[in-house]
Amino acid sequence: MVLDKFGSGLKNTFRRVAGLSIVDKKAVEAIVQDLQRTLIQSDVDIGMVSELSGNIKDKVLKAKPPKGMSLKEYFIKTLYDEMVNFLGREPGEIPLKKQRILMVGLFGSGKTTSCGKIAKWFKTRGLKPGLVACDTHRAAAQTQLKQLGKNLEVPVYSEGKKPKDIAKNALKKSREDVLIFDSAGRDALDKDLAKELKNLGKIIKPQEVFLVMPADLGQAARKQSLEFNKLVGITGIIVTKLDGTAKGGGALAATRVSKAKVKFIGTGEKPDDFEVYDPKRFVSRLIGYGDIQGLLEKAKSAGIEVSEEKAKDLLRGDFTMEDFQEQLKQMQKMGPLKKVMDMIPGASGLKLPKGFLDVQEDKMKKWKHIINSLTKQERREPETINASRVKRISKGAGVKESEVRELLKYYKQAKKVMKLVKGGKGLKRGPLAQLAKQFGMGAG
Ligand SMILES: Nc1nc2c(ncn2[C@@H]2O[C@H](COP(=O)(O)OP(=O)(O)O)[C@@H](O)[C@H]2O)c(=O)[nH]1
Ligand SMILES: [Mg+2]
């Protein structure tokens, strides 16, 4: 899960504020200290931590809350605003138009992988991408990109010996809308690499230069983004591997010094493990407000077109057995249920039974048979199915009775989840709910 520790630390801090009976100096200081601990564990620069703490304390203890807002609500809002600010404030722009993108970064940062992810991202949005294999430094680099291109059905240009020749040839031959140039890394940003990237820049004249950095750099991301910017000029940052490190918070915060914004984040090795970075949404999700928008994008990249309304319906529904089956289908298309659940308001804090999140393909088939052999009434009210009906259904569907019972169990659990989503448990009343509404982050 993305930023597991950081997220749960942050969530706890917000919960603690929500649970305060008195907001006084002592309480504010204790909670800010709590936040500091979370930030430091995530390798946030100590100076930045103390600046943020100061800002929060100043605002909450000195300023007056706006009209109609209690001090506690103001505290929560301040925490939220400051965290969003801290992690980048506004999202970067990613224009959907013809363009050339040059990817830069050190060895193993995730450049080539991100090339494929970006190609897919644009492709899903109706633009034709092309990949250019300008990494001649490592033997397998071009093969890796070609394989990615093949899987994504995106052309890969690699004709030529030297990076600049490959780039020139690609510029001549390609007709795609978005050309993504992979480049070679080094262990450090040395003269050699700087020269190569500068040369490539001159030939490609990219509209975007994306610096790719792994999240486990933590606060070192600051230095690296400054260096790359100075030498080659960057227009955006991609932070990869947020799925596998406790230091992601530090890395994201560190990029704030650079003028270039974090535009995408990588959350796994597969082409779909990729998101547009929006600090507001990111913080909302970390603290468990849910992320309808993110869910929509996920649906889009799986090729399912859904409106916001439909997505909400998908999450609500009257929830019959048929809805359940439909949801399972939809969710499977969206990728691992685990990730989808991450984006559902309130669901991330839910204790789910083991195995609930990875329903296997063959199980799905059996369930289909079972659901098919239910009567209309049973589908509408699966709760009424008793032991003797389980027996009959299992015969009708050609499955074991235990399998029917298992399906019923899953259905019940899913229904609980859906109820929670619908009700926005914990968000119905109180300051968190009001804030959620205010920020348009309510549970729908
Ligand atoms: N877990 C995880 N692994 C990633 C991510 N992005 C890239 N990787 C892996 O990191 C390794 C290096 O990636 P690669 O794209 O070859 O890096 P490059 O040298 O910069 O081109 C590969 O094993 C990738 O699968 C990510 O977001 N999450
Ligand atoms: Mg590479």
Examine the pLDDT at 440 and tell me if it is beyond 60: no
Measured by CA distance, the residue closest to atom 7 of ligand 1 is: 110
Question: Across the strands, what pairs with 101?
Answer: 180, 208
Does 191 lie in the same domain as 162?
A: yes
Q: Tell me the pLDDT band of 220, cut-offs 50, 70 and 90.
A: very high
**Domain boundaries, position 49:** 4-86
- For residues 388-402, average pLDDT: 91
CB 123 within 8 A of CB 154: yes
The upper half-sphere exposure of residue 114, i.e. CA atoms within 13 Å in the direction of its Cβ, equals 31
- Number of CB atoms found within 10 A of residue 137's CB: 15
Higher per-residue confidence, 67 vs 168:
168
Of 56-60, 77-81, 239-243, the poorest mean pLDDT is in: 77-81
The span from the CA of 124 to the CA of 301, in Å, is 6
CATH code for the domain in which residue 77 is found: 1.20.120.140
Does 146 lie in the same domain as 8?
A: no
Does 231 lie in the same domain as 126?
A: yes
The span from the CA of 61 to the CA of 28, in Å, is 8
Cα dihedral across residues 11, 4, 229, 168: positive or negative: negative
Of 254, 286, 318, which marks where a domain is finished? 286
**pLDDT for 89:** 85
- For residues 194-214, average pLDDT: 97
302 within some domain: no
**pLDDT for 317:** 46
Mutating to test ligand 1, I would choose from 3, 109, 113 the residue with most ligand atoms within 8 A of its C-beta, which is 113
Does 142 lie in the same domain as 237?
A: yes
For residue 266, give the ligand 1 atom closest to its CA. Answer: 27
Of 66-70, 198-202, 253-257, 326-330, the poorest mean pLDDT is in: 326-330
218 within some domain: yes
Measured by CA distance, the residue closest to atom 25 of ligand 1 is: 269
Does 272 lie in the same domain as 130?
A: yes
Question: Across the strands, what pairs with 205?
Answer: none
- Residues near 430 by Cβ (< 8 Å), separated by ≥ 6? 18
Does 123 lie in the same domain as 239?
A: yes
SS (H, E, C) the chain: CCCHHHHHHHHHHHHHHHCCCCCCHHHHHHHHHHHHHHHHHCCCCHHHHHHHHHHHHHHHHHCCCCCCCCHHHHHHHHHHHHHHHHCCCCCCCCCCCCEEEEEECCCCCCHHHHHHHHHHHHHHCCCCEEEEECCCCCCCHHHHHHHHHHHHCCCEECCCCCHHHHHHHHHHHCCCCEEEEECCCCCCCCHHHHHHHHHHHHHHCCCEEEEEEEHHHHHHHHHHHHHHHHHHCCCEEEEECHHHCCCHHHHHHHHHHCCCEEEEEECCCCCCCEEECCHHHHHHHHCCCCCHHHHHHHHHHCCCCCCHHHHHHHHCCCCCHHHHHHHHHHHHHHCCHHHHHHCCCCHHHCCCCCCCCCCCHHHHHHHHHHHHCCCHHHHHCHHHCCHHHHHHHHHHHCCCHHHHHHHHHHHHHHHHHHHHHHHCCCCCCHHHHHHHHHCCCCCC
The span from the CA of 18 to the CA of 434, in Å, is 12
State in Å: Cα 186 to ligand 1 middle: 15
The span from the CA of 443 to the CA of 289, in Å, is 8
State in Å: Cα 352 to ligand 1 middle: 30
Convert the pLDDT of each residue in 92-129 to its tens digit.
Answer: 999 999 999 999 999 999 999 999 999 999 999 999 99
CB 278 within 8 A of CB 109: no
Does 231 lie in the same domain as 141?
A: yes
Q: Tell me the pLDDT band of 71, cut-offs 50, 70 and 90.
A: confident
CB 416 within 8 A of CB 422: no
CATH code for the domain in which residue 111 is found: 3.40.50.300
Examine the pLDDT at 429 and tell me if it is beyond 50: no
State in Å: Cα 204 to ligand 2 middle: 18
Does 384 lie in the same domain as 329?
A: yes
Integer-rounded Cα Rg, in Å, for the chain is 25
Higher per-residue confidence, 432 vs 224:
224
440 within some domain: no
Measured by CA distance, the residue closest to atom 19 of ligand 1 is: 108
Examine the pLDDT at 282 and tell me if it is beyond 50: yes
Does 369 lie in the same domain as 266?
A: no
For residue 244, give the ligand 1 atom closest to its CA. Answer: 1
Most confident of 1-15, 87-101, 198-212, 268-282: 198-212
Convert the pLDDT of each residue in 47-65 to its tens digit.
Answer: 999 999 999 999 999 988 8
- Residues near 9 by Cβ (< 8 Å), separated by ≥ 6? 34, 35, 37, 38, 41, 42
326 within some domain: yes
Q: How many domains does the chain divide into? A: 3
- For residues 195-201, average pLDDT: 96
Examine the pLDDT at 293 and tell me if it is beyond 70: no
- For residues 19-37, average pLDDT: 92
Does 65 lie in the same domain as 117?
A: no
Most confident of 92-96, 335-339, 371-375: 92-96
CATH code for the domain in which residue 318 is found: 1.10.260.30
Of 19-28, 216-225, 257-266, 308-317, the poorest mean pLDDT is in: 308-317
Please list every protein residue whose CB sits less than 6 Å from any atom of ligand 1. Answer: 105, 107-113, 185, 212, 240-241, 243-244, 266-269, 273
- For residues 362-372, average pLDDT: 81
Does 365 lie in the same domain as 241?
A: no
For residue 109, give the ligand 1 atom closest to its CA. Answer: 20
State in Å: Cα 224 to ligand 1 middle: 18
State in Å: Cα 268 to ligand 1 middle: 8
Question: Mean pLDDT in the chain?
Answer: 83
The span from the CA of 24 to the CA of 6, in Å, is 26
The dihedral formed by the CA atoms of 323, 328, 331 and 333, expressed in degrees to the nearest 10:
-120
Instruction: Report percent pLDDT > 70 for the chain.
Output: 78
State in Å: Cα 109 to ligand 1 middle: 6
Convert the pLDDT of each residue in 118-168 to its tens digit.
Answer: 999 999 999 999 999 999 998 899 999 999 999 999 999 999 999 999 999
For residue 265, give the ligand 1 atom closest to its CA. Answer: 27
Q: Quickly tell me which residue has 């959620």 as its tokens.
A: 436
Examine the pLDDT at 305 and tell me if it is beyond 90: no
Mutating to test ligand 1, I would choose from 242, 269, 272, 339 the residue with most ligand atoms within 8 A of its C-beta, which is 269
Q: Tell me the pLDDT band of 214, cut-offs 50, 70 and 90.
A: very high
**pLDDT for 295:** 53
370 within some domain: yes
**pLDDT for 319:** 64
Does 109 lie in the same domain as 61?
A: no
- Does pTM top 0.85 for this prediction? no
294 within some domain: no
**pLDDT for 286:** 85
